[in-house]
């Protein structure tokens, strides 16, 4: 409790002194618990499953439930996917995490064909970004949806068991109930599934390592090499802000994102161009962290004035621009909507060449140091120098633009 003198300017432009006593509010405890009946119903479904799958999204981060969802996945031996990764809602290096999967897209059928229980944790289950008339939930599936927002539960598909409550509190109670109620034989079966999923994850990692090695010395620089260098440059205090759309999937596969608040991406899609100003906000909110914004050239073009703000207020963010001289993500989206066709044809309004934007020149014009990287062997030293500089700077990386 503090008493301070405040100087106030009245409407008559006369300075006045007042005594001000600060009284802090008590904590607001609003972690709603799920109904015990729904906990028991979920345990019943999970006790009879042989191939569960979990979809996680930003509700995990909102409720600080990363540890609880990892424990939940390990207990039931489930594969874990994410329809849209916007935060670290499951450690990407965990042996049960199998990455991106939109369950409403046709290619998800193969991954989900043997599933008997689907659990959504803090995610809008089976919402469609692009309409697909064939996307149906099999009738023999059991669905469990965990969310603090009642609006989400059962919104898109029928739910057999909806658990409304704070996600961290809900998973804590559910984990405790399973450890008490599930027979040891079923928990042993879950451990067997974990080992099988780990083997599948290992094969994926091996394939990616081979791809990284094959593309290591490519010029223009390969996305696998760029993301490998970013991963090696990261420290325990590095935060990634992702606005590099067509390169984002590879960033999220290669960079070892495992801690809360170490990765930010627009939730549920967002809009291109948010990354540069968003990184300024992340840095201001986490002044002790090293912030690296990775943005596509098309995205960066929407909000270049953020560099002036960084220089004006001395906000030490490193902006890395992947320059492939095209709105590649727009082409990819067009392909999803219109069907399969070559992406190497000219797309009116989607090419960023003639002239190619010079982001280093743009950065310097706004008071930010800019450096271009055209060869892969120069990435490591440039990244280290920029991240260690404790000042705003920009790295322009000329990357591949394969059809």
- List the chain domain ranges: 36-193, 215-398
205: β partners = none
Q: Give dist(CA 295, CA 284) in Å, integer.
A: 19
The number of angstroms, rounded, from the C-alpha of 188 to the middle of its chain's C-alpha atoms is 32
Tens-place pLDDT, residues 182-234 = 888 999 999 999 999 999 999 999 999 999 999 999 999 999 999 999 999 99
**Does residue 155 surpass a pLDDT of 70?**
yes
C-alpha to C-alpha distance for 257 and 247, rounded to whole angstroms: 16
pLDDT for the residue 14: 63
Confidence of residue 373 (pLDDT cuts 50, 70, 90): very high
Q: What is the pLDDT of residues 253-299, one digit of tens each?
A: 999 999 999 999 999 877 889 999 999 999 999 999 999 999 999 89
Please give the share of the chain, as a percent, with pLDDT higher than 70.
Answer: 88
Q: And the tokens for 223? A: 């996305």
Residue 397 has pLDDT above 80, yes or no: yes
Sequence-distant (6+) residues with CB within 8 A of 56 are: 69, 80, 81, 82, 89, 90, 121, 122, 123
**More confident position, 353 or 205:** 205
CA 251 to chain centre: 10
The whole-chain average pLDDT of the chain stands at: 90
- Alpha carbon 55 to its chain's center: 13
Distance (Å, whole) CA 34 – CA 186: 24
Q: State both tokens at 340.
A: 């399969």
Residue 371 pairs in a beta bridge with: 395
Three-class DSSP category at 304? coil
CATH classification (class only), 215-398: alpha beta
Nearest alpha-carbon partner for 386 in 295, 339, 324, 318: 318
Only one residue has tokens 């948010």, namely 274
Does position 6 have pLDDT exceeding 60, yes or no?
no
H helices of 215-304, in order, are 223-233, 245-254, 275-285, 297-300
Q: Which CATH class is domain 36-193?
A: alpha beta
Contacts of 43 (CB under 8 A, 6+ apart): 174, 177, 178, 181, 182
């Amino acid at each position: 409790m503090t008493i301070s003198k405040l100087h106030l300017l009245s409407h008559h432009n006369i300075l006045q002194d007042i005594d001000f006593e600060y009284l802090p509010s008590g904590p607001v405890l609003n972690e709603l618990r799920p109904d015990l009946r729904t906990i028991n119903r979920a345990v019943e479904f999970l006790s009879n499953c042989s191939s569960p799958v979990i979809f996680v999204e930003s509700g995990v981060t909102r409720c600080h439930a990363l540890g609880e969802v990892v424990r939940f996945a390990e207990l039931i031996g489930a594969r874990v996917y994410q329809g849209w990764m916007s935060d670290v809602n499951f450690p990407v290096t965990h042996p049960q995490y199998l990455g991106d999967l939109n369950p409403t897209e046709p290619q998800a059928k193969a991954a989900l064909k043997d599933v008997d229980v689907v659990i959504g944790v803090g995610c809008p289950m089976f919402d469609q970004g692009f309409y697909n008339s064939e996307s149906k939930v099999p009738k023999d599936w059991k669905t469990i949806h965990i969310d603090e927002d009642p609006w989400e539960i059962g919104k898109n598909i029928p739910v057999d068991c909806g658990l409304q409550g704070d996600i961290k509190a809900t998973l804590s109670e559910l984990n405790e109930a399973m450890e008490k109620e599930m027979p040891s034989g079923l928990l042993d079966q879950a451990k067997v599934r974990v080992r099988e999923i780990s083997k599948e994850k290992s094969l994926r990692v091996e394939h990616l390592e081979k791809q990284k090695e094959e593309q290591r010395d490519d010029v223009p620089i390969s996305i696998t090499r760029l993301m490998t260098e970013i991963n090696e440059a990261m420290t325990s205090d590095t935060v990634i802000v992702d606005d590099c759309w067509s390169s984002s999937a590879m960033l999220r596969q290669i960079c070892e994102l495992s801690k809360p608040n170490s990765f930010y991406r627009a939730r549920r899609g967002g809009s291109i161009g948010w990354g540069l100003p968003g990184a300024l906000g992340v840095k201001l909110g986490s002044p002790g962290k090293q912030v690296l914004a990775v943005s596509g050239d098309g995205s960066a073009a929407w909000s270049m004035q953020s560099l002036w703000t960084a220089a004006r207020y001395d906000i030490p963010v490193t902006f890395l621009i992947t320059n492939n001289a095209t709105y590649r993500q727009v082409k990819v989206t067009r392909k999803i909507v219109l069907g399969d066709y070559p992406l190497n044809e000219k797309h009116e309004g989607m090419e960023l060449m003639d002239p190619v934007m010079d982001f280093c020149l743009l950065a310097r014009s706004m008071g930010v140091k800019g450096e271009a990287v055209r060869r892969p062997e120069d990435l490591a030293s440039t990244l280290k120098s920029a991240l260690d500089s404790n000042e705003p700077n920009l790295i322009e990386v000329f990357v591949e633009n394969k059809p």
